[in-house]
Structure 1
Amino acid sequence: MLDHVSVQCDDLAASRAFYERLLAPLGVTVAMDYGDALGLAGPDGFPRFWLGKAQGGVQREIHVAFVAPDRAAVDKVFEAAQELGTEILHEPREWPEYHPGYYGVFVRDPDGNNVEAVTHS
């Protein structure tokens, strides 16, 4: 449904390193780099997730969920999060309260946002 999402980062370099490593199991890479803004793309090559330098003000937590092709990819995102030393909000598991087959992991990014990798298999 969404075309793209952009989040503001206190430390763009730290956020880039975090997201490049965390989302590598999902085939996500930096597709566009404007110096103060980065567009990350999945296998389709279209930059749908953007990181930008903070513009001031107080940042509020956001939640963003990335599509994983299967449970193995969700588990690999979890492994990447552990290697990054980030806060794990919820380890990978099925969430039947959402719907049968909803399998996801939830972690914090460097700016305190809630980041999820999920498959609906």
Structure 2
Amino acid sequence: MSKLGTISHVALSVSDFETSTKFYTFLLTELLGYKAISVLPDVIIWAKENGLLIVIRQGTKTPTFAQTNPGLHHLSFRSETKEEVDELFGKIVQFQEQNKATQPASKILHEPAPYPQYVEGYYSVFFTDPDGIKLEITYMP
């Protein structure tokens, strides 16, 4: 199968590298099975066996992120089942509760629910990272 046109990587600039490192290590490594392949003082790169890379790096100023601004609307990660979405949601809530002092902007936007208006069987949870960037874990048959 050709790799032409497939996504190579997603790079995010963050306002607080230490806070975001903790959040994305939890999300990408502990929940989604990515492996940190490069850890530098101001850049971390995680990889998945399918070749997709996720990169965070220290930004230069606090972002003014809003869902309706031009730019990245949200980043969605697939799950294998609806039950896995529910399981990961529980772990995200637990992480947010344990880290609310240092991760106050990380919030659940919409608890796991079906979204048949997208595709029949679509089921997902929406939440934010420490900078308020919208993320999603979805099951789509």
Change in Cα spacing, 1:109 to 1:58, as seen in structure 2 (3 Å) is: closer
Distance 1:80 1:28 in 2: 16
Distance 1:21 1:95 in 2: 26
Which of 37, 48, 56 matches 1:51?
56
Aligned residues: 120
Q: Tell me which residue corresponds to 2:38.
A: 32
- Mapped pair 1:71 → 2:82: yes
> Rg: which structure is higher?
2
> AA paired with 2:59?
A
Matched residues, percent identical? 28
- Mapped pair 1:18 → 2:23: yes
Which stretch shows the higher mean deviation, 22-31 or 101-110? 22-31
Q: TM-score, normalised by structure 1?
A: 0.85
Q: Does structure 1 retain, via aligned residues, the 8 Å contact 2:43–2:57?
A: yes
> Could you list the per-position Cα deviations for residues 45-69 of structure 1 after superposition, in whole angstroms to 9, with x for gaps in the alignment?
7352111101336443441111222
| Bigger strand share | 1
Which residues of structure 2 form unaligned runs of 5+? 1-5, 67-71, 97-105
Q: Tell me which residue corresponds to 1:83.
A: 94
> Could you list the per-position Cα deviations for residues 91-120 of structure 1 after superposition, in whole angstroms to 9, with x for gaps in the alignment?
111110100121111101100100111121
Partner secondary structure for residue 61 of structure 2:
coil
- Mapped pair 1:109 → 2:129: yes
> Could you list the per-position Cα deviations for residues 54-91 of structure 1 after superposition, in whole angstroms to 9, with x for gaps in the alignment?
13364434411112222233223211220122311011
Which residues of structure 1 form unaligned runs of 5+? none
Distance 2:16 2:43 in 1: 12
Q: TM-score, normalised by structure 2?
A: 0.74
